[in-house]
């Protein structure tokens, strides 16, 4: 059993690391895009449109690729989803538009809508154009908390509608999970920041970095100083395993490690264990496991307490991890951390089964997976404190902010969207839709 | 196994697949490669009087369709630009070395008897099996009073055909231009002139594209373009109709036909033959894919003939032409209705929107238990086929005959026709 020495940076050469964190899928070139676009049937009442949380007119944007009307195509996308470029890269299309594509029904081979969306949005972003214009100034000011997908989407639409927007962001950069949370190979080449720049180029939006709600600003102040508020905060904390010794060396939160990885230019400075265990079944777990492998970990084991169909990571994501050399073990839950001299050496798991009443229970049978590093990725939790301060408190349900169909909270004039609201799907595309809907509702509210 | 050999107006060919008079048949090297690949015959690219013509640089333009290249091809190339002697010498040698193959020589000289007589004598010395009179090229040569300028005037067609029959023993095939309103007029003229056969269609006057950057047609020659001759898969329907018109015209007197126009595979060839063609000529498909395509043409036609029990080409030649009729002979009482196979339907809704927006509002769109559902309204369906044509799933929408118990009645007999023939 290796000790802490088995955690090291630079397991692979700088060239290998650079190669490993390149684009997950290459972009379609013009010829490939035309061939793929020609596979679209231009359906009436297209199922893909209905499956898109932002309601993009997919057949229409694809037809415009066929005809070489790339600007028109990109505008169809960006009008509904200003982060169409990011969503083209990170959307689980296999459970959204592409799952319901009639080509999936016909031949189990959907039109690759995500790749086509990337083709059009990349084309427009490369022109450097901001295709949208701002309406005449309303003289109103709106505060947006959080510069993630929900906040940026709301800010862009609010600015288009003529309002002044000030965004308060706790971190040093905007982009939210696109910048800090998603696997590097999904959004390489500084894409998240390029998209932020594209959004901000509309004008009318300023961002105040390093300003966290509840620490540097309060909801009460914002509500007083601005004509309306949109809260687009993310999930602030990670669920714990509830095991003894969780704070010991070698046990980490996957989200923290990924954030660090995302901010590393070369990845040569990232230490990774020879043997890695990731616990969890979502996209964060998959992203962590694959990136650990790509940093040079020898054995990466992802353990999930239920079966493959219960994982929130899609089948496609699971397969991607497996083809990247990650071992996925299902139906096992962690019961104890093994350690030596305060350093983790492995995790003991107990096999699980679902009993007749649908509840998960241990079988009593256990096994140990050796590990120099253990990553926890069993979900994140919304920290309600900043929005439930005594001065001004929003209604919370099931740990998240309760909103109506217009994304208005229990306090008139305060709206919320993204992962922090009840009913959210924890998807970038859903956050963008929340921001867009809230912006229109705020516009109504301000002009009402 | 089916016998693909054919005797076309005395020209014996091991199979009915000929290369049309065009760039692929301009030189010995090309023709020999074609024969090595298995083509039954060639029509040598059009010979003219010396001095030879001069061609321009940039000669072809094309229509691409949904990523498919060359659905239609257009050219502004003229007849052979090589000296007459060179061509004749090569023809002589190729015919000698490939005596089992058919060699027909395409000709185009000014519309006077003397030049035709002179060139026919020269061609006869090569041992070629026949001549094809190029009355069709719509570009360039027509400006000089040849090609389609002759083919568009039935009197000229008849006159030149007659000269040729008078001055040679070789078989005379008249190649017809489609750039006219009624193909039967020029075909009848060829019959009156004594031609042994007609071949059609030559290329169609066309501009395939405008280059929107230079604001000129393609192919573009130094910033300008001229109309050219259109061919390739896109012209096949036009050619089939013209062949059918001649095949069923009593005045054309069953004149043998060599079919041309977008033929790319054995099925295209079989369709032309079913309308009466004895041989078919190919150009664009060969220019796109090379000579090897003849292998599929031969084996495909042979396999299909075997599956149908046809032993020779004449066993099925012309069988479809008897079913080409005038509209006024169609059965007004015949009815079909679209039927959607719901198990095959992939819910694209194309049938609905095509019918709803542009036709008869005969396919409803609804949701059944949340699932998209498209259903034909029989009372509204006129049996037009649009939905079945637009549906991307094979055999999902079929047109089913309705047994309405009504007898055959054509428009001439229909009481709703104010001009119906009294005798009916």
Pair B368, B313: CB distance under 8 Å: no
Half-sphere exposure of residue B260, counting CA atoms within 13 Å on the CB side?
29
DSSP B332-395: TT--EEEEE-TTT-----HHHHHHHHHS---EEEEEETTEEEEEE-TTT-----HHHHH-SSTT
Task: Using only the alpha carbons of chain B, give its radius of gyration.
Answer: 24
pLDDT score at A2: 46
Residue B269, token pair as written in the block:
């060839």
CATH, range A141-236+382-446:
3.50.50.60
For A305-335, how does the pLDDT look when each residue is reduced to its tens digit (9 = 90+)?
A: 999 999 999 999 999 999 999 999 999 999 9
A41 contacts in chain B (CB < 8 Å): 348, 350, 392
Contacts of A401 (CB under 8 A, 6+ apart): A231, A382, A384, A387, A394, A395, A409, A416, A420, A421, A422
Q: What pLDDT is stored for residue B146 in this prediction?
A: 86
Q: Which of the residues in chain A have pLDDT under 50?
A: 1-3
pLDDT at position B422 is 56
The neighbour count for residue B207, using CB atoms within 10 Å, is 15
The CB-based long-range contact list for B144-150 (8 Å cut-off, 24+ gap) reads: B144/B110, B145/B110, B145/B111, B146/B48, B146/B108, B146/B109, B146/B110, B146/B111, B147/B108, B147/B177, B148/B177, B148/B179, B148/B202, B150/B111
Helices (H), A166-226: 177-180, 191-200, 219-225
Q: Which of B67, B392, B393 sits opposite A34 (nearest CB)?
A: B67
Q: Give the number of other Cβ atoms within 10 Å of residue A251's Cβ.
A: 23
What is the C-alpha end-to-end distance of chain A, expressed in Å?
A: 68
Nearest CA-CA partner of A242 in A399, A376, A384, A398: A376
Report domain A38-127's class. mainly alpha
Per-residue pLDDT of chain B (424 residues; tens, 9 = 90+): 999 999 999 999 999 999 999 999 999 999 999 999 999 999 999 999 999 999 999 999 999 988 789 999 999 999 999 999 999 999 999 999 999 999 999 999 999 999 999 999 999 999 999 999 999 888 888 888 888 889 999 999 999 999 999 999 999 999 999 999 999 999 999 999 999 999 999 999 999 999 999 999 999 999 999 999 999 999 999 999 999 999 999 999 999 999 999 999 999 999 999 999 999 999 999 999 999 999 999 999 999 999 999 999 999 999 999 999 999 999 999 999 999 999 999 999 999 999 999 999 999 999 999 999 999 999 999 999 999 999 999 999 999 999 999 999 999 999 999 988 755 4
**Angle value at C-alpha A189, between A96 and A430, nearest 5 degrees:** 25
Closest approach of B230 to chain A, Cα-based (Å): 23
Rounded to whole angstroms, the Cα distance separating A197 from A194 reads 5
User: Residue B212: phi, psi to the nearest 5?
Assistant: -75, -10
E strands present in B156-231: 171-175, 197-200, 204-206, 209-211, 216-218, 228-231
Q: Could you tell me the CATH superfamily of domain A4-21+238-380?
A: FAD/NAD(P)-binding domain (3.50.50.60)
Pairwise CA distance, residues B257 & A110, whole Å:
47
Task: Specify whether B137 is catalytic.
Answer: yes
Closest C-alpha to B216, from B227, B206, B225: B225
- Between CA B28 and CA B36 the distance in angstroms is 12
What residue of B is the nearest CA neighbor of A33?
A: B67
3-state secondary structure of B397: strand
A63 CA: distance to closest CA in chain B (Å): 11
Chain B residues inside the 8 Å CB shell of A44: 348-350, 352-353, 365
Spatial separation of the C-alpha atoms in residues B155 and B172, rounded to whole Å: 17
Q: Tell me if residue A392 falls in helix, strand or coil.
A: coil
Phi-psi bin for B262: left (phi > 0), alpha (psi -120 to 50), beta? left
- Token pair for residue B258? 């060599």
* Strand arrangement of the beta sheet that strand A414-416 belongs to: A205-209, A164-169, A141-145, A228-231, A414-416
What is residue B253's DSSP assignment? Answer: T
With the CA atoms of A383, A386, A388 and A389 taken in that order, what torsion angle do they form, in degrees rounded to the nearest 10? 140
Q: Which residues of B touch A (CB under 8 A)?
A: 66-67, 346-350, 352-353, 365, 372, 392-393
Residues 92-121 of A with CB under 8 A from B: 102-103, 105-106
Instruction: Cite the residue boundaries of each domain of chain A with CATH code 3.50.50.60.
Output: 4-21+238-380, 141-236+382-446
Residue intervals in chain A for CATH 1.10.1060.10: 38-127
Q: What are phi and psi of B46, to 5 degrees?
A: -50, 125
Task: Read off the pLDDT of residues B52-94 as tens digits, 9 standing for 90 and up.
Answer: 999 999 999 999 988 789 999 999 999 999 999 999 999 999 9
In 3D space, the residue among B214, B157, B224, B223 whose CA is nearest the CA of residue B191 turns out to be B157
Q: From the list B66, B352, B393, which residue is nearest A44 (CB)?
A: B352
| Cβ partners under 8 Å of residue A399, min gap 6 | A381, A382, A384
Distance from CA of B233 to the nearest CA of A (A): 19
Whole-angstrom Cα Rg for chain A: 23
């Amino acid at each position: 059993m290796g000790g802490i020495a088995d955690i090291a940076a630079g397991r692979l050469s700088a060239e290998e690391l650079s190669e490993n964190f390149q684009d997950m899928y290459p972009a379609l070139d013009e010829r490939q895009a035309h061939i793929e676009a020609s596979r679209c049937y231009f359906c009436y009442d297209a199922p893909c449109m209905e499956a898109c949380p932002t309601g993009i007119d997919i057949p229409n944007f694809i037809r415009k690729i066929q005809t070489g009307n790339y600007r028109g195509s990109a505008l169809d996308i960006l009008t509904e989803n200003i982060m169409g470029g990011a969503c083209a890269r990170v959307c689980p299309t296999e459970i959204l538009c592409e799952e319901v594509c009639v080509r999936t029904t016909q031949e189990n081979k959907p039109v690759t809508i995500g790749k086509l969306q990337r083709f059009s949005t990349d084309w427009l972003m490369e022109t450097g154009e901001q295709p949208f214009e701002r309406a005449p100034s309303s003289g109103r000011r709106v505060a947006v908390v959080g510069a993630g997908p929900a906040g940026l989407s709301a800010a862009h639409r609010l600015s288009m509608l003529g309002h002044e927007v000030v965004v308060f962001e706790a971190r040093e950069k905007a982009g939210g999970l696109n910048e800090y949370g998603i696997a590097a190979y999904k959004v390489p080449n500084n894409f998240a920041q390029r998209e932020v720049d594209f959004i901000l180029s509309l004008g009318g939006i300023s961002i105040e970095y390093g300003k966290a709600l509840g620490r540097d600003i309060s909801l009460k102040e914002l509500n007083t100083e601005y004509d309306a508020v949109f809260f687009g905060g993310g999930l602030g904390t990670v669920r714990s395993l509830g095991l003894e010794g969780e704070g010991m060396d070698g046990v980490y939160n996957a989200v923290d490690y990924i954030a660090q990885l995302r901010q590393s230019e070369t990845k040569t400075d990232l230490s990774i264990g020879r043997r890695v265990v990731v616990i969890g079944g979502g996209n964060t777990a998959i992203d962590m496991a694959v990136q650990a492998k790509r940093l040079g970990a020898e054995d990466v084991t992802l353990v999930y307490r239920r079966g493959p169909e219960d994982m929130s990571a899609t089948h496609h994501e699971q397969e991607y991890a497996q083809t990247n050399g990650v071992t996925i073990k299902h139906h096992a839950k962690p019961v104890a951390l093994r350690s030596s001299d305060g350093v983790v050496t492995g995790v003991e798991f107990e096999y699980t089964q679902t009993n007749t009443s649908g509840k998960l229970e241990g079988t009593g049978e256990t096994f140990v997976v050796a590990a120099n590093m253990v990553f926890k990725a069993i979900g994140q939790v919304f920290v309600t404190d900043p929005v439930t301060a005594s001065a001004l408190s929003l209604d919370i349900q099931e740990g998240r902010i309760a909103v109506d169909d217009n994304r208005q909270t229990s306090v008139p004039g305060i709206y919320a969207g993204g992962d922090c609201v009840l009913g959210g799907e924890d998807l970038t595309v859903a956050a963008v839709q929340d921001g867009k809907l809230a912006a229109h509702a705020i516009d109504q509210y301000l002009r009402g | 196994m089916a016998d693909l050999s054919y005797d076309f107006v005395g020209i014996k060919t091991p199979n009915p697949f000929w290369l049309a008079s065009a760039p692929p048949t301009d030189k010995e090297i090309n023709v020999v490669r074609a024969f090595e690949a298995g083509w039954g015959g060639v029509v040598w690219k059009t010979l003219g009087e010396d001095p030879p013509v001069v061609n321009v640089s940039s000669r072809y333009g094309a229509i691409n369709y949904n990523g498919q290249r060359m659905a239609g091809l257009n050219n502004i190339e003229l007849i052979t630009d090589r000296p007459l002697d060179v061509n004749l010498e090569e023809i002589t040698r190729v015919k000698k070395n490939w005596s089992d193959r058919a060699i027909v020589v395409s000709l185009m000289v000014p519309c006077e008897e003397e030049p035709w007589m002179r060139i026919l004598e020269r061609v006869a010395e090569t041992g070629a099996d026949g001549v094809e009179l190029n009355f069709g090229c719509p570009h360039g040569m027509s400006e000089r009073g040849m090609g389609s300028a002759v083919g568009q005037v039935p009197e000229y067609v008849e006159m030149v055909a007659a000269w040729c029959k008078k001055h040679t023993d070789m078989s005379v095939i008249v190649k017809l231009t489609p750039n006219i309103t009624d193909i039967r007029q020029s075909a009848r003229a060829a019959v009156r002139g004594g031609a042994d056969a007609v071949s059609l269609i030559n290329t169609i006057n066309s501009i395939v594209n405008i280059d929107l950057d230079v604001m000129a047609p393609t192919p573009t020659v130094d910033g300008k373009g001229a109309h050219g001759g259109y061919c390739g898969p896109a012209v096949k329907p036009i050619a089939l109709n013209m062949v059918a018109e001649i095949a069923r015209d009593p005045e054309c007197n069953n004149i043998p036909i060599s079919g041309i126009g977008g033929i790319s595979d054995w099925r295209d060839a079989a369709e032309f033959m079913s309308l009466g063609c004895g041989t078919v000529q190919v150009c664009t498909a060969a220019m796109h894919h090379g000579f090897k395509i003849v292998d599929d043409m031969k084996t495909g036609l042979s396999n299909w003939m075997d599956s149908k029990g046809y032993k020779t080409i004449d066993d099925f030649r012309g069988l479809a032409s008897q079913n080409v009729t005038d509209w006024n002979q169609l059965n007004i009482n015949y009815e079909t209705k679209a039927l959607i196979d719901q198990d095959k339907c992939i819910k694209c809704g194309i049938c609905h929107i095509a019918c709803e927006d542009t036709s008869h509002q005969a396919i409803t769109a609804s949701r059944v238990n949340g699932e998209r559902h498209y259903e034909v309204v029989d009372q509204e369906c006129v049996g037009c086929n649009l939905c079945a044509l637009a549906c991307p799933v094979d055999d999902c929408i079929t047109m089913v005959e309705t047994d309405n118990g009504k007898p055959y009645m054509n428009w001439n007999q229909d009481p709703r026709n104010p001009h119906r023939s009294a005798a009916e």
